[in-house]
Amino acid sequence: MFRRLLIANRGEIAVRIIRACRELGVESVAVYSDADARALHVALADRVVRIGAAAPLHSYLSTDAILGAARESGAEAVHPGYGFLAESHTFAAACTDAGLTFVGPPAHVIARLGSKIAARQAATRAGIPVVPGETPADQRDVTIADAARRIGFPVLIKPSEGGGGIGMKTVRDAASLPAAIAQARREAAAAFGDGTLYVERLIERPRHVEVQVLLDRHGHAVHLFERECSLQRRHQKIVEEAPSTALTPRLRARMGDAAVTLARSAGYLNAGTVEFLLEGAGDTARFYFLEMNTRLQVEHPVTELTTGVDIVRAQIAIAAGEPLPWSQDDLTQRGHAIEARVYAEDPSRNDLPQAGSLLLYREPTMPGVRVDSGVVEGSDISVHYDPLIAKLIAWADTREGARARAIAALRSYPVLGVRTNIAFLIALLEHPAFVSGDIDTGLVESQRAALLTSATGDPPPEAIAVATHASGSAGPLDSASSTSADPWTTLQGWRG
């Protein structure tokens, strides 16, 4: 096992990895930007190294700064978390060249699977169905439009490099093509420095179901079953669960086998996720390979709670050369887990990210509830980074039990000083479509108005009574609050 491991990330995932290190007896090294000097991950790590200015390019995205920190701290391994450099094959290669163990797959595998084109080819070679689509070699508007007509409407136009839904456009007819192509190209170039576009058939009412895999250096490969990630806003997941209500045991086994086959054939190592689009439900459903995420996923806890496997710990053990301690037959899914992502954002203003200080922040503690977070009361939510504050994960023996627990926990989760999507998440978990399990990737957007109505509203009389009563004392952070008035003076007018 490693003596010391550097975490090239911040926020809740850095905290999550530090905790795994502590259990393994591995010293943790946190890196931080100027904006994060007082952040939770910096407080918890065994050693800390400042790596640069707040802007990610000068800190969490700077390979030089992070490798320098690894050298300075004497780390033997680097865990990239998710986001930032986690899917950068050049970063993985630079770690290896510097004599560090990269906790993830080999650089050349990241490079191959990171390209949608090469990943699809790998899937096709492994006999796994893919959604019809292509990246026209000739990238002129007219050729891309031809490809769209050949594939058949509706189509999705998206950046060849990239993910997270950035630059992704749905086009339902030829007339809307030119505007969509221009916009997708502009966003692709801005976000990824590469305007190359990819066109594919849009599967209507699809589910997004992904399979977690683990592969060690000794030729062992297992999957940890599926995660249902259909609830997304702006193509970003907000609620995930395991197992999926759409899978039968037979379909689950087929998808699990497909994921392991693909990972093996790609020479994959360590934890990875194979994403599928699912059309229909039950034994007759069809699944299509979407992409492989060559890193830890944000939503990994729902798999941990239903399989009992600590995925982060497994990642570190695999990187250290240890064999997987289980075979596929040892692994089972037990009960049901639901994760709700708590974001600093205002759902009534198009999910606009929010910044400010957490005047009051109390995480719920109750049986079957886990909160993975990177903040404490008094933390600043910065404009520089992803607005994810925490993930609340509820487990119970049944889906309905997990749903009730998640709602009860969210109702006991006060976050004041920065607007969050907590009320929106409650509305989503209470929506009849979620209750019945009949969900698809378009649900959140199609139901947005109804969800907002139930998540927002004028203060009830008891809230006004509390606000009035509290006037004498401005809360636990009164003295801090009087010095920097910005967050709430700007936020006050934001009730939509």
Partner 1 sequence: MAEFEVTALGAGRYRVSDGTRQRLAYAAGPPHARWVFIDGHVYVIDVSGNRDSHTRRAHDDDMALASPMPATVASIHVSEGQAVSQGDLLVMLEAMKMELPIKAPRNGIVKAVACARGELVQPGVPLVELD
Q: Are 260 and 324 in contact (CB under 8 A)?
A: no
Element (H, E) at 15: helix 11-24
Tokens of 478: 């009164």
Query: Least distance to partner 1 from the beta carbon of 435, Å?
Result: 17
Query: Least distance to partner 1 from the beta carbon of 476, Å?
Result: 5
In the region spanning residues 456 to 485, those forming contacts with partner 1, defined by CB under 8 A, are 457, 459-471, 473-477, 481-482, 485
Query: Least distance to partner 1 from the beta carbon of 487, Å?
Result: 8
Determine if 203 is a binding residue for partner 1 (CB under 8 A).
no
Tokens 């596929």 sit on residue: 328
Query: Least distance to partner 1 from the beta carbon of 63, Å?
Result: 22
DSSP string, 53-110: -SSGGGTTT-HHHHHHHHHHHT-SEEE--SSTTTT-HHHHHHHHHTTPEESSS-HHHH
Main-chain phi, psi angles of 215, to 5 degrees: -135, 135
Query: Least distance to partner 1 from the beta carbon of 242, Å?
Result: 24
Q: Which among 204-212, 235-243, 250-258, 421-429 is the span making contact with partner 1, rule CB under 8 A? A: 421-429
Q: Is 292 helix (H, G, I), strand (E, B) or coil?
A: strand
Determine if 494 is a binding residue for partner 1 (CB under 8 A).
yes
Q: Is 263 helix (H, G, I), strand (E, B) or coil?
A: helix
Determine if 186 is a binding residue for partner 1 (CB under 8 A).
no
Find the binder of partner 1 among 1, 191, 320, 404 (CB under 8 A): 191
Determine if 492 is a binding residue for partner 1 (CB under 8 A).
yes
Q: Which among 63-71, 186-194, 196-204, 209-217 is the span making contact with partner 1, rule CB under 8 A? A: 186-194
Q: Which among 9-17, 106-114, 216-224, 416-424 is the span making contact with partner 1, rule CB under 8 A? A: 416-424
Q: Which residues pair with 15 in a beta bridge?
A: none
* CA separation for the pair 301, 340 (Å, rounded): 11
Q: What is the dihedral of CA 220, 226, 232, 238, to 10 degrees?
A: -80
- Kindly tell me which of 378 and 437 has the beta carbon lying closer to partner 1: 378
CB burial of residue 489 (10 Å; 0-12, 13-18, 19+): exposed
Find the binder of partner 1 among 152, 323, 414, 496 (CB under 8 A): 414
Q: Which among 108-116, 310-318, 346-354, 367-375 is the span making contact with partner 1, rule CB under 8 A? A: 346-354
Query: Least distance to partner 1 from the beta carbon of 189, Å?
Result: 12
In the region spanning residues 347 to 386, those forming contacts with partner 1, defined by CB under 8 A, are 350, 352-355, 359-360, 362, 383
Query: Least distance to partner 1 from the beta carbon of 365, Å?
Result: 14
| Sequence-distant (≥ 6) Cβ neighbours of residue 137 within 8 angstroms | none
Q: Are 442 and 170 in contact (CB under 8 A)?
A: no
Angle, CA 193 vertex, CA 189 and CA 199 arms, to 5°: 50
Site string for partner 1, 423-462 (x = CB under 8 A): x--x----------------------------x-x-xxxx
* CA separation for the pair 483, 125 (Å, rounded): 61
Site string for partner 1, 112-151 (x = CB under 8 A): ----------------------------------------
Query: Least distance to partner 1 from the beta carbon of 131, Å?
Result: 26
Find the binder of partner 1 among 416, 443, 444, 451 (CB under 8 A): 416
Main-chain phi, psi angles of 150, to 5 degrees: -65, -40
- Kindly tell me which of 25 and 493 has the beta carbon lying closer to partner 1: 493
Element (H, E) at 200: strand 197-201
Query: Least distance to partner 1 from the beta carbon of 180, Å?
Result: 16
Q: Is 469 helix (H, G, I), strand (E, B) or coil?
A: helix
User: Quick one: CA dihedral 302, 305, 306, 309, positive or negative?
Assistant: positive
Determine if 496 is a binding residue for partner 1 (CB under 8 A).
no
Residue from 315, 313, 319, 255 nearest 283 by CA? 255
Looking from the CA of 90 toward its CB, the CA atoms found within 13 Å total: 5
Main-chain phi, psi angles of 290, to 5 degrees: -105, -65
In the region spanning residues 230 to 259, those forming contacts with partner 1, defined by CB under 8 A, are none
The sheet carrying 286-293 orders its strands as 286-293, 270-279, 207-215, 221-233, 236-242, 336-343, 388-396, 369-373
Site string for partner 1, 155-184 (x = CB under 8 A): -----------x------------------
Q: Which among 20-28, 176-184, 221-229, 417-425 is the span making contact with partner 1, rule CB under 8 A? A: 417-425
Main-chain phi, psi angles of 310, to 5 degrees: -85, 105
Q: Which among 86-94, 256-264, 316-324, 418-426 is the span making contact with partner 1, rule CB under 8 A? A: 418-426
Size of the site for partner 1 (CB under 8 A): 59
Q: Which residues pair with 388 in a beta bridge?
A: 343
- Kindly tell me which of 237 and 419 has the beta carbon lying closer to partner 1: 419
Task: List residues near partner 1 by CB under 8 A.
Answer: 166, 187, 190-191, 350, 352-355, 359-360, 362, 383, 407, 410-417, 419-420, 422-423, 426, 455, 457, 459-471, 473-477, 481-482, 485-486, 488-495
